[in-house]
Amino acid sequence: MVSRNAKVLSVLTLALINVAAVANLSQLAILAEYGLAAVFFLGAAALVFFVPCALVSAELATGWPKAGGVYAWVKEAFGPRLGFVAIWLQWVENIFWYPTVLSFAAATFAFIIDPTLASNTMYTFVMILIITWAVTLINFKGMKTSSWISSFGVLVGTIFPAILVILMGTAWVLMGGQTQIPLTTASMMPDLSSIANIVFFVGVILSFAGIEMSAVHAREVKDPQKDYPKAIFLSVFIIFAIALLGSLSIAIVVPQSKILLTAGIMEAFEAFFTYYGIAWTMPILAILIAAGSIGMVNTWIVGPSKGLLATAEDGNLPPFFQKANQNGMPTNLLMTQAFIITVLSMVFIFMPSVNSSYWILAAMTVQLYLIMYILMFAAAIKLKYSQPNTPRAYKVPFGKAGMWGIAGIGIIASFFSIGIGFIPPSQFGTGDPLFYVGFLATCMFIACVLPFIIMHFKKASWKPSTKKTAKKTAKKKKPKRKAKKKKRR
């Protein structure tokens, strides 16, 4: 039962929250590489990954709402060590993701100055650094400022451009404009004869990642068991439509060989606006889309860091990383995060092209994220047995069998995507294959080993509750001494 005074989200509202958390214009160019075959890959990714993630995380979020997040879920199932590994992976995968979406913002800004800069690796690197440190410092001011920037960015820089590019693409086809891809039923089925042709499926998975962040709202609908699945499938439809129609709008006007993964949507707008004689509006649109991508980064740059900071209550972080400013922002974590992004962004200097740099970071992001998802799916199965009586406002249908089926599909899809992520895409050169595989393997090894090293050197003094208790005890003792002196006088 929900009290009359409780805030209840409608199905539509919850669906839009999911859209805001997941929809990402920077992923449209990856899908555009597939042409009409994107229908197949988007459908497959939705069935084997997106829907399982949404349903499983909803049960976990409504069963353990107080602590919330993947740390609490995995900790409940497998203990604090693996719980820390899970939240660590969620934090570190974002660090690899930031340069990709910031390179998208950099490429978008290029259309204000000089479109040719979008393919310039040094320009991209410098812009990533400027935006990274600017957003980091802005977030020091607290969540009020941060949330305003995020909300504005999503509205004007994601939703509006997505609708606009879809409408222009639709009008292009209806008016008989020349298309760069075949629009036939046969072209909806991709060529699966070579595994190199399906490597971009990893990018499709990335398009659907992040739904677990909004699962905490599952218990805020009137009837979670019925309304939450409705909201999920509505959000799947909206995100699917934006991803499919948006990517096709790019593919029909930009030749596949010329699609920039960081600027595909801007290339499409340039073609549309030039055709319709309104090219003068490009700088305005570029500013809006860049604001949208920065708003998305702003949304994610704090969330995982604060999630990692929450583990400090169990003494899992050294005191240096527990420092927060007067606005409650984890300053040292944010600064460390910005420094690592700076180092990772140097890949744009050493890789052959912006496309190859973007892809290798995107692949690394997905692989780390999927390890976290495997832990989440496994935790959901374990908790079905270890804590069957814990109240859950939403439950995956068909009990234990349903959980095994849905979470099992998610685990298999995750392992498959991790495997193909090590294969360089055939659509563009990624340089030496050994460097490509070595970079991914090395980064994955370091990212996965570091949390175990931190836990190995964990000390009792890292737990802040001990210090707080000591301070509170000292404060309580002082007034008593003063009171005694007053009585003697």
Question: What is the spatial distance between Cα 138 and Cα 149, in angstroms, rounded to a whole number?
Answer: 10
Look up the domain containing 206 and give its range: 11-488
Under 8 Å CB-to-CB from 103, ≥6 apart: which residues?
124, 127, 128, 262, 348, 354, 357, 358
Read off the tokens for 180.
Answer: 């760069």
Taken in order 150, 151, 156, 157, is the CA torsion positive or negative? positive
* 387 falls within a domain: yes
* 2 falls within a domain: no
* 463 falls within a domain: yes
Q: Domain containing 331 — which CATH number?
A: 1.20.1740.10
Read off the tokens for 282.
Answer: 């490009």
Torsion of the alpha carbons at 164, 165, 169 and 172, rounded to the nearest 10: 60
* 226 falls within a domain: yes
* 5 falls within a domain: no
Question: What is the spatial distance between Cα 286 and Cα 228, in angstroms, rounded to a whole number?
Answer: 36
Question: What phi and psi, each to the nearest 5 degrees, are found at residue 221?
Answer: -90, 160
In total, how many domains does the chain have? 1
pLDDT in 10s for each residue of the chain, 489 residues: 344 444 577 888 778 777 776 777 888 888 888 888 888 988 999 899 988 998 998 899 888 876 557 888 999 999 988 999 998 998 898 889 889 888 998 999 899 888 889 889 999 999 999 999 988 888 887 656 556 666 666 677 778 898 999 999 999 999 888 899 988 888 888 777 777 667 878 878 887 888 777 666 666 778 877 787 788 788 888 888 888 999 999 999 999 888 888 888 999 999 999 988 998 999 999 988 888 887 777 767 776 777 777 777 778 888 888 888 887 788 888 899 899 999 999 988 888 788 888 888 888 999 999 999 999 999 999 999 999 999 888 899 999 999 999 999 999 999 999 998 898 876 656 667 888 889 899 999 999 999 999 988 888 888 876 555 444 444 554 555 544 444 444
Largest CA distance in the chain: 98
Token pair 């490429």: residue: 107
Candidates 262, 284, 254, 297; CA nearest to 161 is: 284
Three-state DSSP class for residue 9: strand
* 1 falls within a domain: no
* 109 falls within a domain: yes
Read off the tokens for 429.
Answer: 């050169």
pTM of the full structure: 0.83
pLDDT at residue 144, rounded to an integer: 60
Question: What is the spatial distance between Cα 315 and Cα 332, in angstroms, rounded to a whole number?
Answer: 16
* 25 falls within a domain: yes
Neighbouring CB atoms inside 10 A of 298's CB total 25
pLDDT at residue 484, rounded to an integer: 47
Candidates 348, 260, 359, 352; CA nearest to 29 is: 260
Under 8 Å CB-to-CB from 274, ≥6 apart: which residues?
none
